[in-house]
Chains A and B, each alone.
Chain A
Amino acid sequence: MPGNVIKLRFTLNEKQVLLQCHPGTRLLDILRHDFGLKGTREGCSQGECGACLVLMNGLSVNSCLIPAFALTDSEILTIEGILSLKSFTDIRKSFADIQTYRCGFCSSGMQVALAELLLTNREPNAEEIRRALSGNLCACGSYNGVVEAVLQSSSRKRRYGRRRSERS
């Protein structure tokens, strides 16, 4: 192990974890190599493509830009957490089918970006969705399909809402 090591304590997918590593270790490498969470992908290593997005304290960040020393006491949610935790059940209903993403490489990053949006806005419009996805690059050009899926899911929620009020 090169250089010095630090002890890190943070929350990963709602579980407390401890890790020893070099302070300059990238969060992306910690997730993929130390915790085996391969859903967070490496695309550009520059914070531009969004393939490595995770939620840090509820906000999306590029994990390729986060050094280990910035992690202490933070809450990290990866795509694996978002796809499995009960707290994200409702949000998952708005995600597009995986086929919409075509090759699927950018899908994790896009879903994290959408999760951040949907945590505070359950019925976004198309402009808001595109703005949330503005940090995700998709070489297959699947943006429209993803936006459509979220909009349709919102419209389903609105219809359900109307029926409930009709019943009452």
Chain B
Amino acid sequence: MEEGGVKEVRVFRPKSLGGTLRLYTRNPDSLLYAGGTEIVRRVQRGPGLVFAFPQKVIYLGNVQELNRISRSQRHLDIGSALDLSRILKLGRNVLPPVLFEPLSGIATPAVRNLATLGGNICVRSCRGDSLPALSVIDAQVELRTAGSTRWTTVESFLNQRGRPQLRPGEILTRIRVPLEEWDFALFRKVGGRQRLGRSTLSFAGVARFPKGSIEVLHFCLGGLKTPVLRVPGLESRLKNASIPVSTKLIDSLLADLDAALGNEVEDSPEGRYRKATALRLFRWFMEKVNSRSLEML
């Protein structure tokens, strides 16, 4: 059932980042369009009908700075409008494995040829894909206006409801992925496309444990009410814990996580499943950390 009428749409096609930023400053009500795979699903009106875009669209597909990757020893800078297929071509040896996994599982091959990492971060319905992985490795996003640049973490970039916190005229331009070595890294997604379950949930975790104790451990749950759920209190309790981590400590952490998840799920069969699964994912992660650490000893 249609919502009526098609409007005039003006499409801007800038070629440089500077031009894009100036354009966006003058036209702050424009839709920024890169891969557009989520946007078009919402503005899709059916066979024979044009997409219901707003009046102004800034197409980012030709903006060079947003469509490239640069690499240093310490990090990768990925353009926010670069499609996922090209990012994945870097391979598991370059892209951190904890990020390679979620990106390679997003949607379908054809959608990955269009969809972008910037879009995946900004669009709420995509939570549970890249966000948990980016969070645990302390990835940052670059936000620029015509006259300013700032960096922030992915958790700070999104509010509690998953909306990007952008200042007037700001565009997400790059995602900085640290290339740190981790002794253990793991990503898992439950549900979603062809994973034979309705509720979606994802888990990302990384750990470093030289010399028989945990130096640092990060874990993150995605797909809950809070788009990127980190529990710093639990992470800090594991700092300096000797490995393998005791069952008693794991059970205690699970009890705290259970409490932290209290308001994160709805009271429904799907919500109860997601909470129970989140707890099982954490237990499973800790068991994997223990067995990996034993392998390394």
Touch between chains A and B, by CB atoms below 8 Å: yes
- A67 in the interface (beta carbon within 8 A): yes
**Chief secondary structure at chain B's binding surface:** loop
Q: Could you say which residues of chain A place their CB within 8 Å of the CB of B295?
A: none
- A47 in the interface (beta carbon within 8 A): yes
- A48 in the interface (beta carbon within 8 A): yes
Bound-complex Cα distance A45 to B7 (A)? 21
Within 226-253 of B, Cβ neighbours of A (below 8 Å) are at none
Could you tell me the distance in whole angstroms from the C-beta of A130 to the nearest C-beta in chain B? 11
Q: Could you say which residues of chain B place their CB within 8 Å of the CB of A29?
A: 47-48
Contact present for B194 and A134 (CB under 8 Å): yes
- A118 in the interface (beta carbon within 8 A): no
Contact present for B8 and A4 (CB under 8 Å): yes
Q: How many A-B residue pairs have CB under 8 A?
A: 101
| Interface residues of A, count at CB 8 A | 36
Contact present for B108 and A22 (CB under 8 Å): no
| Chain B binder among A56-64, A97-105, A152-160 | A56-64
Which of A26, A69, A113 lies in contact with B109, CB distance below 8 A?
A: A113
Within 15-56 of A, Cβ neighbours of B (below 8 Å) are at 22-26, 29, 33, 42, 45-48, 50, 53, 56
Could you tell me the distance in whole angstroms from the C-beta of A159 to the nearest C-beta in chain B? 29
Contact present for B50 and A46 (CB under 8 Å): no
Q: Could you say which residues of chain B place their CB within 8 Å of the CB of A53?
A: 110
Bound-complex Cα distance A61 to B37 (A)? 10
**What 0/1 pattern do residues 118 to 143 of A give for CB contact below 8 A with B?**
00000000000001101100000000
Contact present for A47 and B9 (CB under 8 Å): no
Provide a sorted-by-A list of 8 A–B residue pairs whose CB atoms are within 8 angstroms: A3-B8, A4-B9, A26-B51, A29-B48, A46-B44, A47-B107, A59-B85, A61-B114
**Could you list 14 further interchain pairs (A-B, Cβ under 8 angstroms) beyond the known A23-B53, A47-B110?**
A4-B10, A24-B9, A24-B52, A24-B53, A29-B48, A33-B48, A45-B46, A47-B40, A47-B41, A47-B108, A59-B85, A60-B109, A65-B40, A70-B36
